[in-house]
Structure 1
Amino acid sequence: MGSAGSAGASAPDGSALPSRARRVPVRALVVAAVAVAVAGTGASFVVGGLSDRHRAGLVATQPGGLWSVAPDPDVVWRAPTDGGWPAAVEGQVVLEADGALQGLDVATGESLWSASLPAGTSVCGPDLLDPGSVGSPLVCVTEVDPAPAGEQSGAGDGPVDASEPSTSRATFVVTVLDPAGQVVGTRVLAGTTDAAAPLADGLVATARRDGDRAVVSWEEALDGALVRTRVLHAAGYPVDAVGSTTREDDRDAGTIALHGLRGLLHVRAPDLRETFDASGEYATGYARPRSVPGGWAAGGPLPGDLRVRAALDPRSGQVEEVHVLDADGSGRYVLPGEPFVPAVTDGTVPHVLVVRSPGFTGYDALSGRRLWHREEWPEMIWLQTDDVLVVESGSRLIAIETRTGRDLWRRWLPSEVHRAFTDGDSLLLTSTITGRRDDPDVGTSELVSLNLFDGGLEWRDVLDPTYREVVSAQGQLFAVTDTEVVRIG
């Protein structure tokens, strides 16, 4: 994005804004029990407060959604991660280190329970950023070597050098725990399993080699019931003039790895790469680079139980039409172009569908009637609510009234925007200023809060340089470093 100096923001009229403007949180949270004791005009106030809290809760459950964040947020709690990525269950962050598990309260960091896993290398899930972590049990997969280094494995005379790795085939043990850290059950995966990864909804993904194919399965973690299977065909390797592979080490030919992250399952091997969404559908297609898992472009809910199907041009392989279907699968209308979906929403069912090609156009979701059209070619829709659509176009943020396409505000921001969040009233952005006036080679990462409806700068905060990533989970704002998870708020 374009540079606007180290201050990086201005008022809607172009005047400079202070770098740390303060605000008072908009939303008042009311205890539900008060509603029972209050009558008359007071009751209507409480109902409004409860409605506000319900709305805030709805926003907080979305990817990128937050409870209201105080100006100039500070560290609330931090905990070591041992270099891994935190797991999560509803209301908790779960950390694993050398087989020791610990459940922490997601808001306060208070230790709630501890547990132990079998000896080996463990991975637990769903992970902190998986939307499916709400309501899911904790699933851990432990890779156990039945003949550790230094012990005899297979044929041979005498002990094995402890510095040498085991040659025995590893086994995988699945452990399922409830939110209190109690073990619900365990299961040893089939001996043909080459890789496994925990998923949301009490599932585990497994992979095995079958010649030049890889068989990936989604199984119930405890009873092994098969949910779905995908057979992937390896791409193969180039060969030289005498028919030998050009790879330096043929021993890696059979290796395969599974990684569950952010609601997606990544399958990786030297000869294949594939990614699947939570339903087991291929996630490397048109919708995924611009959207979070779910959403209307991936079959998410629309008014009147409508659904969307994207039609591909057989020559280019690109999406050329958006087909909107009734609940019974019959076609209702067709929109020209490709789905243009937001990175963040407030959880409301969209009444306006935005389609790109050329420019971008807003359509009424029920009728397909064109509401507005704009000739810009924005790179991203950062946020869509029923009221406001915020896009990034060139070096500007442009806020548009969702149902009319009318400009609400425009703002220049410094450098690149990495991620967006919302609490329903504000748009929070993580961005990078590429240089300072006193030292242009030094970059700074910032968290910037803008009023969603007028674009005014509410506050900005320079981030700790150790923060590898700033993310939202279960309505809270987190930073992840190489060694820690940090709750900021």
Structure 2
Amino acid sequence: MLQVELVEDEVLDQVPRAFGPTRGPGHASPARRPGGRSSGSTTPDVAGAPPSSAGRDGPVAPDAPPPVTPHPRRTRRLLVGTAAAVALAVALAGAQVAVDARERAYLADLARLPGVVAPLDAPPGVRWSGDVADVLATGVRTVDGSSVVGVRTAADGSRTVVAVDVATGEARWEQPAAGPATRPSPDAQPVLQGCQRVPGDGEHVSCLVSDLWRVVELSRWTAVAPTSARLLVLDVVDGSVMSDLVAGSAADGWATASAVLGTSTVLAGTTPGGDVAVRAVDRDGALLWQVVRVGAATGPWTPLSVQRLDDAVAVMTSSEVVVLDGATGEVRRTHTVDESAGGYVTSWDPDAGRLNVVQDGTTTVVRADADVTVHGTPVPTAIDDGSVPGLVLTDDVDLRAWGRDGQALWTAPVPSTWNATVLDGRVHLQTSTSLVTIDARTGDELWRSWEGDQGGAVLTDGRHLFRTVDRDGASSGELDLVALDPADGSQLWRGPLPDDVRDLRALEGTLLARTTSGGPGGSGQVLAVLG
């Protein structure tokens, strides 16, 4: 059994419930009399009385009750009461339809978040499995949810943009992006590069592909500078090429990171001279603006990342974060990152419009318009439905919550928080020992569960929270999937996962299982798509 402790129930009163008639403690139905009439009837039952043959003014039998004529005012009250009841029923039915429509709209919006899986009403089975980790890891899901478009790297180094059917695992289409490439060393691995949605356009994806490799040097992975790069804009239906641009040059540096801003794309790469070059181009390849960060590179190739922040872009290296105006390239703000002192930059959702610069025990939340600095280190938040706009969570001995402008909202005694999921005004926190759910607006604890996998993120389809638990309470390696009610932590259903499943994760709307069967030589690990 799943152990659940209910702490408070106040937040449940704020959750919309199904409309319908209710009965209070003092409400009782009228008593029924034989014959089917209620005790409130104005016309008594007369058993065996023959029908009267008298006229309107004729005599009435002595044992027959006098005729009852309804009072006109009572008749009006009955008619008004009946009409009111019908109107109330229609209103309640309409309200229920409105609630259902809002719930469907909420779940549809939630399904667009990368970490939310497709609805599950029972334990899933394996739909298909195969070597698709690179496609899923570099891909984006199409608007209709049927495919994931990503980049597949073959053993010879060639790279292909592939649309994988989520239901079957089959390739719907393929578009060659880069030919075979020579590995710089036998142990070199391709650096995954992928595709992005074009904002406001559900028909196209933008994919940056280069021959970027990484190798081990001094026990650390380091990358080898690419020799080519290509920026493709493709139709998600059939893979046809809408735009095909050479992304950089040997003299100016090849692009290794990009962000799409509507009809323009911002590209960033390292120049041979050790600078970081950032340029914006339109779909025809025309240069819109260019910014060179002199000396920003830390070697012949510098790890780069570019993220859209509403109408701006952030260019991130290991030493700085630069916020640029998306239309002009003008530098809005710059943050120095001291890696030697433990500083780092992190962002979990590229569409969230913010990132975090962490150093000296503080977190600076960087947005397009302004930055705020708060105490603590950011809690990884894989899913945030926006039900508490601007919410920032940090770990500062206890859990702390901050508003968009940096104002302290509340503190909760939840130490060692590993990750968080924000859904419908609640924060579900995975700690080293339990799953804790608190009210996102007040910090009050709502419920806590001690069972389940304490190592991974909480998975959800918007209606359930999913945890993996040992099947028989022992570490046999066999797992069950448990669905919890987000409101109170109660178990809704539980069932076995396939025997070779070792852990679960969510990626672009798919529920992935890491298995120990299959793989090269029958001994490797592969990903299976469940559903």
CA distance in 2, matches of 1:390, 1:192: 49
CA distance in 2, matches of 1:273, 1:287: 9
Question: Cα 1:478–1:197, aligned 2, differ >3 Å: closer, same or farther?
Answer: farther
SS, match of residue 449 in structure 1: strand
- Listed as ranges, the gaps of 5+ residues in structure 2 are 7-16, 19-89, 182-189, 213-225, 520-524
Higher mean C-alpha deviation, range 446-455 or range 217-226: 217-226
The residue number in structure 1 matching 2:511 is 477
Q: Cα offset for 1:418?
A: 1.5
Look up the equivalent residue of 2:149 and give its one-letter code: V
SS, match of residue 55 in structure 1: helix
SS, match of residue 381 in structure 2: coil
The residue number in structure 1 matching 2:389 is 350
Question: Cα 1:329–1:486, aligned 2, differ >3 Å: closer, same or farther?
Answer: closer
Query: Of 109, 119, 128, which aligns to 2:179?
Result: 119
Pair 1:455 & 2:511 matched: no
Q: Cα offset for 1:193?
A: 5.7
Higher mean C-alpha deviation, range 44-53 or range 109-118: 109-118
CA distance in 1, matches of 2:452, 2:285: 52
CA distance in 2, matches of 1:356, 1:141: 37
Pair 1:48 & 2:99 matched: yes
Aligned length: 391
CA distance in 2, matches of 1:195, 1:258: 12
Look up the equivalent residue of 2:484 and give its one-letter code: L
Give deviations 1:82-106, integer Å, cap 9, x for gaps: 8664533524213535455442344
Report the structure number with the largest CA radius of gyration: 2
The residue number in structure 2 matching 1:10 is 3
The residue number in structure 1 matching 2:242 is 184
Query: Of 351, 362, 378, which aligns to 1:319?
Result: 362
SS, match of residue 457 in structure 2: strand
The residue number in structure 1 matching 2:439 is 401
Q: Cα offset for 1:60?
A: 1.6
SS, match of residue 71 in structure 1: coil
Give deviations 1:464-486, integer Å, cap 9, x for gaps: 6477862231x332346768654
Q: Cα offset for 1:452?
A: 1.0
Q: Cα offset for 1:400?
A: 1.6
Instruction: Identify which of structures 1 and 2 has the higher relative contact order when contacts are C-alpha pairs closer than 8 Å and 6+ apart.
Output: 1
1:174–1:222: 8 Å Cα contact kept in structure 2?
no
1:139–1:203: 8 Å Cα contact kept in structure 2?
no
The residue number in structure 2 matching 1:223 is 285
Question: Cα 1:231–1:51, aligned 2, differ >3 Å: closer, same or farther?
Answer: farther
CA distance in 2, matches of 1:134, 1:49: 26
The residue number in structure 1 matching 2:270 is 208
CA distance in 1, matches of 2:284, 2:472: 52
1:242-257 correspondence to structure 2 within 5 Å? 254=300
Give deviations 1:38-82, integer Å, cap 9, x for gaps: x97655444332211110012222242234223211223445438
CA distance in 2, matches of 1:390, 1:353: 14
CA distance in 1, matches of 2:323, 2:405: 27
1:109-188 correspondence to structure 2 within 5 Å? 109=169, 111-117=171-177, 119-121=179-181, 125-126=194-195, 137-143=205-211, 170-180=227-237, 181-188=239-246
Give deviations 1:233-258, integer Å, cap 9, x for gaps: 455xxxxxxxxxxxxxxxxx745676
1:352–1:363: 8 Å Cα contact kept in structure 2?
yes
Query: Of 408, 412, 425, which aligns to 1:374?
Result: 412
Question: Cα 1:466–1:232, aligned 2, differ >3 Å: closer, same or farther?
Answer: farther
SS, match of residue 471 in structure 1: strand
1:436–1:443: 8 Å Cα contact kept in structure 2?
no
SS, match of residue 383 in structure 1: strand
Pair 1:487 & 2:529 matched: yes
1:407-426 correspondence to structure 2 within 5 Å? 407-414=445-452, 416-426=454-464
1:76–1:108: 8 Å Cα contact kept in structure 2?
yes
2:395–2:416: 8 Å Cα contact kept in structure 1?
no
Question: Cα 1:53–1:171, aligned 2, differ >3 Å: closer, same or farther?
Answer: same
Pair 1:387 & 2:413 matched: no
Give deviations 1:207-247, integer Å, cap 9, x for gaps: 23434x24243543751634655455455xxxxxxxxxxxx
CA distance in 2, matches of 1:198, 1:296: 17
Q: Cα offset for 1:364?
A: 6.7
RMSD: 5.4
CA distance in 2, matches of 1:63, 1:434: 28
CA distance in 1, matches of 2:149, 2:365: 40
CA distance in 2, matches of 1:365, 1:172: 38
Question: Cα 1:321–1:382, aligned 2, differ >3 Å: closer, same or farther?
Answer: closer
SS, match of residue 53 in structure 1: helix
Question: Cα 1:231–1:183, aligned 2, differ >3 Å: closer, same or farther?
Answer: same
Question: Cα 1:54–1:112, aligned 2, differ >3 Å: closer, same or farther?
Answer: same
1:381–1:392: 8 Å Cα contact kept in structure 2?
yes
Q: Cα offset for 1:182?
A: 0.7
SS, match of residue 249 in structure 2: coil
CA distance in 1, matches of 2:240, 2:437: 48
Question: Cα 1:419–1:486, aligned 2, differ >3 Å: closer, same or farther?
Answer: same
Relative to the length of structure 2, the TM-score reads 0.56
The residue number in structure 1 matching 2:140 is 88
CA distance in 1, matches of 2:163, 2:100: 32
The residue number in structure 1 matching 2:465 is 427
Look up the equivalent residue of 1:48 and give its one-letter code: V
Question: Cα 1:208–1:464, aligned 2, differ >3 Å: closer, same or farther?
Answer: farther
1:388–1:399: 8 Å Cα contact kept in structure 2?
yes
Q: Percent identity?
A: 21
Relative to the length of structure 1, the TM-score reads 0.60
